[in-house]
Amino acid sequence: MADGRSGRELVVRYLMFLLGLAVIAYGVVMTIEADFGVSPWDVLHIGLQKTFGLTIGIWSQLIGVLIILLSYLLGKIKPGIGTILNMVAFGLFIDLFMWMGAVPHVSGLPARILLFLGGLVIMAVGIGMYISPRLGAGPRDSFMLALHERMGWSIQAVRMAIEITVLGMGALLGGPVSIGTLVIAVFTGPLIQRTIPFWERVMAKSYGQRPKEQIHA
C-alpha cells in the first residue's frame, strides 16, 4: 500500500514538473510574441535561430546539451533525470506552442505590454511549479553552480556574469534586446521568491514534502 502511494506521488511530482515547464514555455512564447524584449537566454536562442536556422526550441535543447557538458567538465556535476527531462521537454513545449499559434498576435503598444507582463508572471508561476517537486536543477542552473564551485564567486555574481555574456552573444547574432529584457532580469527574482514558496506549500500539503523555510533569489 505504501509502495503504491509513493508511486502515485512520484507520478504527480513528475506531472507537476512537466506542467511547470509547459507553463514557463508558454510564458516565454508570450514574451516573444509581445516583441517587447525577452530573457537573455532567449535573446541567444532567437539570435541563433535567425543566424543558423532551426527552431528556438531546438536551439534551447542544443545549448542545454552544451551546458550539461560544461557543467560536468567544470564542476563534475552529472545530469540527473530531471535535468535531461528539463532540457528536452522545455524546447519541445516552446516549439509546440509556436507551431500551434497558441499565443494570439497583438498589435499596439498597450496590448504588447500587457502580453509581455502576462508572460513574465506566467514564467514566474511556472518556475515555482517545476521547482516544487524537487526533481533536479535545469541545465542552466547546474552550469551556474559549476561555475560557482570552480570560480569561488557568489551565486549572484555568477548568474549576472552568465546572463551578461549570453545577452551579448545573442545581441551580436541579431536576438531581440529591448526594455523588456531588463524588466525580466530585474523582476524575475522577486516574483519567484513568491511563486516558489507557494508551490512548495502546495506540494507539502498534498504530498508531505517539507517546504523550504526561505527562498533566496
pLDDT at 47: 96
Question: What is the model's pLDDT at position 210?
Answer: 54
Is residue 177 included in any domain, yes or no? yes
129: containing domain: 2-207
Closest CA to 126 of 6, 23, 17, 28: 23
Residue 97 lies in a domain: yes
How many Cβ atoms sit within 10 Å of the Cβ of residue 138? 23
- The pLDDT confidence band at residue 207, using thresholds 50, 70 and 90, is low
pLDDT at 79 over 90: no
**pLDDT greater than 70 at residue 19:** yes
Does 215 map to a domain?
Answer: no
Does 149 have pLDDT greater than 80?
no
Tell me whether residue 216 is in a domain.
no
Question: How many distinct structural domains can be found in the chain?
Answer: 1
Checking if the pLDDT of 100 tops 90, the result is yes
Q: Would you say residue 32 lies in a domain?
A: yes
pLDDT score for 1: 45
Any domain includes 87 = yes
User: Is there a domain that residue 26 lies in?
Assistant: yes
Which cell numbers in the block locate residue 159?
548568474
Give mean pLDDT, residues 191-217: 67
pLDDT band at 48 (very low <50, low <70, confident <90, very high): very high
pLDDT mean across residues, the chain: 85
Instruction: Tell me the pLDDT band of 141, cut-offs 50, 70 and 90.
Output: confident
- Predicted pLDDT at 5: 59
Banded pLDDT at 217 (limits 50, 70, 90):
very low
Reported pTM: 0.85
Q: Is residue 163 part of a domain?
A: yes
Confidence at 171, pLDDT banded by 50, 70, 90: very high
